[in-house]
Structure 1
């Protein structure tokens, strides 16, 4: 059965945030922040686990997703705007310092919370996406590319070629993803494969072939990977994206790094002070952090960093929820030695 999970909406003059809530309202706060192409509902295994142990768990649909606002202007998707969304939600829930857990683009939001609003963070957990002090931009990612795997003359941007495509042609990519929703999610949400280690990620060729799915402009039909994508989650994703489409989520790419510009903290102010747990997914082909240099800037910028490795692909929280939940719970038990921290 699991715990009761309820849906709520926070409206402000600037934004609407839809979010899932589970666990006692007076319990210590834990936020779960999704990335692309996700929803708050993707955190169901974590909501069940931690709510049962006394945490007040909150999983928002991020800006551009699900039941939250879907602005039309590209500038509305700067991470600084999304961070302000989370500040509004945090304040509405009482503003007590919380544990912030992020994945994919949600990790970038959580890292920004830790830098800009350290007082709101008891602890920070990032899955698969390490901290890049200058922002998750091609400018800062490309120098970290493993050139033995991605020769510059073939893959100028390495595994991040797909990001440039999203920046250059967001409408095209959004149309591709929307052409057959069930097929898209069946292709995207797949478990990790250790046999892909040491080979270029599929994300490195999408720009050269003019799109994610080649000339057909639609995802090929594949069986759903039940180890990652349940029928219930697939139905939830199809319903949500059938209403919102994919353009808003793809606008995030054009705004990467904006939270560190225009009066935001600069490189000299970008250390991560709260304690951090980083979860490596050893079979993640794009965010490969185990053998590459991708995690090096994070190690230099965090005051208190713990790292764990889980054998899974990019969707590690769905593929190996038991390992993820146990890893987070064990680390929190050792890290939060003052105040309430039910396990």
Structure 2
């Protein structure tokens, strides 16, 4: 049992930890339970441990929960070339991980950037990913223009997506004090954080941490042990692996042109926090309102009150109930 998974919130042993060779990577993977495969994809700046509140619940409900450290994170290979982090690489990782686990199908669940990987994997490989759950980031069909160009043409040049583009800049800021960076970003983007600024909109000439605050008291879902675990890994690996996902936004958009406008037909579920700043991004609400067209197999859209960006940790019990209800409904339909 890996020490990073000892605190599951359930009176059961933690997940098994293994390394798996998949898509040219050595992937660190946490697994728990048996039954239909549920693949859990984390976002930035997180690790597989962000799902420990879900893994025991899914295992107890009769599912095989598997959470990898994603490409560039933690115990998984971080390719040195920044171009090796497009969403096609990331979706390919998930396809090959399913095969490496000896499975043919999976339900894929993702949060933040992991949601984009989950949506994309489901779009590209409906034969493998039979259903999908996205958290925080809504599904958006491939558009005719990319988001970075849209921001620039709208006169926006201080968005965090833009700040993350230049190699070395965000790394220098975030790696100066890794533990403080983890603590401030997680608290400030949560439902317990300040509501005076939009987390993603930076002040001219300032970094992303300038829009964060130090918590006076840590919320129940974010303990000192959690922060120490994240900081230990990011101190060892740095932040470049995760930041390289952002640096391929335009390249990904170009590569995804053949799937422009396509929708996801498989059963789907969306969960987000009411105060999540992602829901304040341009067109976010319009994208949610359009789910009946872009996600015709949708089984539910849940915006949980008084919760922020880290929804599966801030509201673990509610998220677990929604996940298991969705998964059990798939079995009933089958």
TM-score by length of 2: 0.86
Instruction: Give the secondary structure class of the aligned counterpart of 1:48.
Output: helix
Unaligned 5+ runs, structure 2:
1-10
- Please show how residues 158-237 of structure 1 align to structure 2 within 5 Å: 161-167=159-165, 169-190=166-187, 191-193=190-192, 196=195, 200-206=197-203, 208-214=204-210, 221-223=214-216, 225-237=218-230
Shift of residue 219, structure 1, vs aligned partner: 7.5
- Please show how residues 1-343 of structure 1 align to structure 2 within 5 Å: 1-12=11-22, 14-24=24-34, 27-134=35-142, 137-139=146-148, 142=151, 156=156, 161-167=159-165, 169-190=166-187, 191-193=190-192, 196=195, 200-206=197-203, 208-214=204-210, 221-223=214-216, 225-256=218-249, 258-259=251-252, 261-262=254-255, 265-268=258-261, 270-288=262-280, 292-305=285-298, 306-311=300-305, 312-339=307-334
Structure 2: distance between partners of 1:117 and 1:327: 24
Q: Deviations over 1:1-44 (max 9, x none)?
A: 334311111125721211111112xx110011000000001100
Q: How many residues align?
A: 318
CA RMSD of aligned residues (A): 2.8
Q: CA, structure 1 residues 7+137, in 2 after alignment: closer, same or farther (shift >3 Å)?
A: farther
Q: CA, structure 1 residues 33+140, in 2 after alignment: closer, same or farther (shift >3 Å)?
A: farther
Shift of residue 285, structure 1, vs aligned partner: 1.8
8 Å CA contact 1:132, 1:297 repeated in 2: no
Bigger Cα displacement from structure 2, 46-55 vs 284-293: 284-293
Structure 2: distance between partners of 1:205 and 1:88: 37
Structure 2: distance between partners of 1:187 and 1:294: 29
Structure 1: distance between partners of 2:48 and 2:313: 13
Shift of residue 333, structure 1, vs aligned partner: 2.5
Structure 2: distance between partners of 1:102 and 1:140: 26
TM-score by length of 1: 0.84
Bigger Cα displacement from structure 2, 329-338 vs 288-297: 288-297
Bigger Cα displacement from structure 2, 247-256 vs 294-303: 294-303
8 Å CA contact 2:148, 2:162 repeated in 1: no
8 Å CA contact 2:38, 2:108 repeated in 1: yes
8 Å CA contact 1:23, 1:52 repeated in 2: yes
8 Å CA contact 1:287, 1:314 repeated in 2: no
Structure 2: distance between partners of 1:118 and 1:185: 35
Shift of residue 267, structure 1, vs aligned partner: 1.1
Structure 2: distance between partners of 1:48 and 1:141: 41
Structure 1: distance between partners of 2:79 and 2:119: 23
Q: Deviations over 1:202-235 (max 9, x none)?
A: 32125x2331235xxx986544623331233222
Structure 2: distance between partners of 1:182 and 1:72: 24
Structure 1: distance between partners of 2:256 and 2:209: 39
